[in-house]
Amino acid sequence: MKKHNIIDSIIDSGLITEGSAIVVGVSGGPDSLCLLHALSQLADPYDLTLLPVHINHKLRKEAAAEADNVARICDRMGLDCHIYEADCSETARELKISTEEAGRIIRYEIFDETAAQLEDSGFTRDRIQIAVAHNADDQSETVLFRLLRGTGVRGLSGMPVVRSSEMGYMIIRPLLFVERADIEQYIKDNKLHPNIDQTNFGTDYTRNKIRNELIPYLEKNYNPNIREALRKYAEIADMDDTLLSDIAFSAMDGHIIIDDGSNRVVLDIAELRGDPPSVVSRVIGYVLQALRLEQSSSYELVTALMTMVYSDNPSATLDLPNGFRAYREYDTIIFTDAVGEMTVKPDETLRMFPQVMMAKDFVPDEDMMYAAFDFDLFNQEYPGKIGELTLRTRREGDYLPMKGGRKKIQDLLVDSKVAKNARDSILMVAIGSEVLWVLPSKYFAGRQEQEKGRFSPKYHITDKTERVLVIEITDNM
């Protein structure tokens, strides 16, 4: 194998271990194509199993052609590319977020799902990695973006080389110390033909404005080495954050009780009150993370909780997001929600109404809670049995079909971090033991599952679908 400085950089990062199975996010652009090609050069000597994943976000007319190009590139490398389609615009509208953020959420959910399929196929979790292609220039842009938006030391530390996904798989960034110019040279040297997203050269998104306008302006007028300076700033911030985090962990030792089964955290603040705010804020951050509230956190919320810690008032109560509450009893702060004190019961007012219609007559109604499937595919599997569909809670042996296999409902609920006392409240549409739709619930950790639930891909609607099975959920009260 002829080495290249980028391949050397990946090896030197220590992120790649022999016998790993790696889900590789591949947009087909220069960065991800460089990463995939470099990893393919390491596949034999490191005994790597590579699973390229491409997501068509349906945002540009060139998207389908780009997906085909990625498939051809993977085929030439002898790799089977997993291609998914997702409507980012629809997700952005539903969640009231930008299409850029919606795309990020969708990508990592699909990466997690693919990693879970690897685990189902026999790979142990510690051998599974998710590789994404962020580079050194991306790191510089991220630091500047967060600085402009307003962030703490942790945010200024930039993107970590390694982090855990929503479902607990290891996400790695092997190119994070490689500059974009080196990637472009690698593409040229290896005669690769990446997709070129022309929107990256525009200024429609804040990150593009930073990349294409602000950083060049700063390089020209203030510091020609601004990118490197921002990366050094991130390294310093990361060192400081690591130290403060270690101190916070020590401060929590023996003073915090987390009960995952009841959504309850008990924090002993008798000694914590003697620590500085920089430590206490991190302890509070860990508590919010344990309760899966970090995405709903804010500067004001953390400040209010810190006031509760330092206050001389031995009794106080604070409402938290998602129905949680913090209340202080002398030297203890208890974080909990209603389900932390009791078993959650399913919503017995909901009713299911399945119906079949021609695909040309199917018009999605955003005000409905519904799922839609290819009726003819369903009817092939269960001829004349639409009446056997039921709306119910989980049963022993239930499973959700997945691309390339199936997943036990028990495992899905565990991976989605649904508390034990809430698992029997999750409703699903099933026929026999096969689940078509796990209904949305606030007890899921992921935002997409909270808003839409989980759908079986087995009867996915395509442009060849003639009849649609629409399952509507209504409140009978």
What is the average per-residue pLDDT within 45-55?
95
Name which of 441, 292, 427, 436 is nearest 373 in CA terms: 436
CB 355 within 8 A of CB 472: yes
Range of the domain at 382: 350-475
Give the pLDDT confidence score for residue 202 in this predicted structure. Answer: 47
Strands of 14-152, DSSP E? 21-25, 49-56, 82-85, 128-131
Last residue of a domain, one of 209, 226, 243: 226
249 within a domain of the structure (yes/no): no
Residues 47 and 111 in one domain: yes
Residues 320 and 401 in one domain: no
With 80 as the cut, is the pLDDT of residue 200 above it? no
- Interstrand relation of 128-131 and 428-431 (parallel, antiparallel or unpaired): unpaired
Residues 6+ apart with CB under 8 A from 61: none
Separation CA 308–CA 262 (nearest Å): 23
Separation CA 34–CA 26 (nearest Å): 10
311 within a domain of the structure (yes/no): yes
Residues 28 and 158 in one domain: yes
Torsions phi, psi for 431 (to 5 deg): -130, 115
With 70 as the cut, is the pLDDT of residue 362 above it? yes
What is the average per-residue pLDDT within 82-90?
87
Give the pLDDT confidence score for residue 58 in this predicted structure. Answer: 79
Residues 297 and 188 in one domain: no
Q: For residue 53, name the pLDDT band (cuts at 50, 70, 90).
A: very high
- Interstrand relation of 128-131 and 170-172 (parallel, antiparallel or unpaired): parallel
Report CA 413 to chain centroid distance, whole Å: 16
Residues 197 and 279 in one domain: no
What is the average per-residue pLDDT within 286-302?
81
Of residues 4 and 230, more confidently modeled: 230
Give the pLDDT confidence score for residue 2 in this predicted structure. Answer: 42
Task: Supply angle C-alpha 261, 306, 289, rounded to 5.
Answer: 30
With 60 as the cut, is the pLDDT of residue 203 above it? no
Tell me the CA distances in angstroms from 341 to 331, 335, 437, one per residue in order.
Answer: 21, 11, 28
Report CA 344 to chain centroid distance, whole Å: 26
235 within a domain of the structure (yes/no): no
At 258, which CATH number?
A: 3.30.465.60
Residues 336 and 354 in one domain: no
At 103, which CATH number?
A: 3.40.50.620
143 within a domain of the structure (yes/no): yes
Q: Indicate the average pLDDT of the chain.
A: 88
Residues 219 and 275 in one domain: no
Residues 286 and 397 in one domain: no
120 is written with which tokens?
């189902």
Residues 354 and 277 in one domain: no
Separation CA 374–CA 468 (nearest Å): 5
Q: What is 147-216 written as a DSSP string?
A: HHH---HHHHT-S-SEEE-TTSPEEE-TTTTS-HHHHHHHHHHTT------GGGGSSSSHHHHIIIIIHH
Tell me the CA distances in angstroms from 43 to 7, 16, 36, 40, 125, one per residue in order.
Answer: 12, 10, 10, 5, 19
Residues 220 and 133 in one domain: yes
Last residue of a domain, one of 208, 226, 244: 226
What is the average per-residue pLDDT within 191-206?
64
Give the pLDDT confidence score for residue 400 in this predicted structure. Answer: 96
Total structural domains in the chain?
A: 3
241 within a domain of the structure (yes/no): no
242 within a domain of the structure (yes/no): no
Q: For residue 39, name the pLDDT band (cuts at 50, 70, 90).
A: very high
With 80 as the cut, is the pLDDT of residue 434 above it? yes
315 within a domain of the structure (yes/no): yes
What is the average per-residue pLDDT within 353-377?
91
Residues 288 and 145 in one domain: no
Residues 274 and 390 in one domain: no
Beta bridge partners of 336: 325
110 within a domain of the structure (yes/no): yes
